Amino acid sequence: MAYTRAAAVKFAEKFWNVPADDGIFWLSNQAVVVAQVRQMNTIPTTSWKKALATDGWMPFFVDDGNGGEKAVFRRGMGPAMQEILINPWAGIADCAHFLSRCLSAGGLSIAERGVPSLVDRLQSLQNTKTLAEKVGQDAGQNIVNSGVFKPGDMIGYFNIDPKGDYNGAKQYAHSGMYAGKINGSKDGAITCHTICRFPGKSWVEDSWWLRDPGHYLYTFIHISDDDPAPDPGKAAILAGWWKAEFAGQTDFYFIQKNGSASKTKRAPVKGQAAAHFAEDTAYWFMASNGEVTLTWRKSGSVERWSPTGSSFESKIFIFPRTLTKLF
C-alpha cells in the first residue's frame, strides 16, 4: 500500500493535542489507557467519581504554564471549565507513538514508542531515503527548501546539548512529521506530540528546527513512494562519472541509475564502478522538466543540475560551475 501524505497530515491535525485514535499515550515507562483512567476515582471532591465521556469529560494535552504540557480531562468552557489532571509534564513521552499512528494512517505500518527505534525503523525501510543525517539548522533548511522533502516526511532530533533531553544523552531525543509551509509558517513547520504541535495551532514554537542551534542535529527521512520516475533518456545521460570544477576546486561525482550518487577528490579510471574514499553520498531526484536535485547526506548541501541538450549544467549561488561528463 502506497503512502498517502495527505492522510497522514490530516490525521495529525485531528489528533495533534489529544490522545491518538488508539486511546493511548505513552509515558517514559508505560502506556496510559484513557478508557481505564476515566474509571478511576481521580477527582478530589465528592461531586464526581469518574471522568466519563457521557458526562462531558474529554482528554487533552494542554500548556502547563511552566514550559511543558500536561494531560488532563476537561469539560466546559471559559470560567466554567473544569479540569482533572491525568499526568503532569514529567514522564510524558508520546512523540514516537503519535507519529507511528500518523504514519499508519498514511498507509505505512509503524508501531514504535521510542525515538531511536522509530528513526532506525524508518531508515531500514526500502521506500525511505535519508536525505541528510545529523546536520545543523542551516543545512536542514536547505533540505526543507529543496522541494524533495514533503509534508508527511519525518525529522529525527539528535540531542547534542549536555543539559538537553534525557539528561543530555547524545541520542535521538525527539521526532516530528513535516507538515509544510502552511498556516503562516515561513521556514516550514512540524506536527508532533510532547510538546503538541501543528502549524498555526501550537502554543510553542512549531518551526521544524524547534530550538536555537546548539540543542539538536537533524535527520531528514523522505518517504519515496510518490517520487516521479525520471526521464529515461536524461537519466541515461546523467549516469556515470562527472568532473565538477568551481573556484579552483575539483570533485568527481559517480552517479548511478538507481538514484544514488557519491563524490570523491580522486579522479576515476575508465570502467571504475565506485567512488573510492567517497567524501559524501547523495540521492538524486529528477523533476518533470529534467532538472536534477542532489541531496548530500553528511553535509546537507543541495545541488541542482539543469539539462542542456546532451549534458547538464550547474551553479553555486549565481556562479556557473563546469560539469564535464567523463564516461
CATH of the domain at 271: 2.40.128.640
Residue 256 lies in domain: 232-325
Boundary-marking domain end, from 223, 244, 269: 223
Say yes or no to pLDDT of 226 above 80. Answer: yes
Query: Same domain for 197 and 294?
Result: no
Contacts of 126 (CB under 8 A, 6+ apart): none
pLDDT at 46: 44
Q: Quick one: cell of 122?
A: 524508518
With 0-12 / 13-18 / 19 or more C-beta atoms within 10 angstroms meaning exposed / middle / buried, residue 65 is exposed
Amino acid identity at 301: S
| 224 phi/psi in degrees, rounded to 5 | -95, 10
The pLDDT score that the predictor gives to residue 41 is 57
The pLDDT assigned to 49 comes to 60
- Is the Cβ–Cβ distance between 132 and 220 less than 8 Å? yes
Residue 30: closest CA among 82, 93, 72: 93
Q: 80-107 as b/e, with b when 16 or more CB fall inside 10 Å? A: eeeebebbebeebbbbbbbbbbbbbbbe
pLDDT at 45 over 90: no
The amino acid at 66: N
C-alpha cell at 318: 549565481
Domain boundary among 171, 199, 223: 223
Are 133 and 210 a contacting pair, CB within 8 Å?
no
* 207/186 same-domain check: yes
Q: Does 246 share its domain with 284?
A: yes
Q: Are 71 and 65 in contact (CB under 8 A)?
A: no
Domain count, the chain: 2
Residue 44, pLDDT score: 53
Confidence class of residue 317 from pLDDT cuts 50, 70 and 90? Answer: confident
Query: If you average pLDDT over every residue of the chain, what do you get?
Result: 95
Map grid coordinates 478511576 to a residue: 40
Domain co-membership, 181 together with 143: yes
Please name which of 210, 268, 208, 259 lies closest in space to residue 235, comparing C-alpha atoms: 259
Indicate whether 203 and 238 sit together in one domain.
Answer: no
Position 63 in a domain: no
- On whether residue 29 sits in a domain, the answer given is no
**Exposure b/e, 117-130, CB count within 10 A at least 16 = b:** ebbebbeeeeebbb
Same domain, yes or no, for 215 and 248? no
pLDDT for residue 42 is more than 90? no
Q: Which residue, 223, 256, 274, sits at the end of a domain?
A: 223
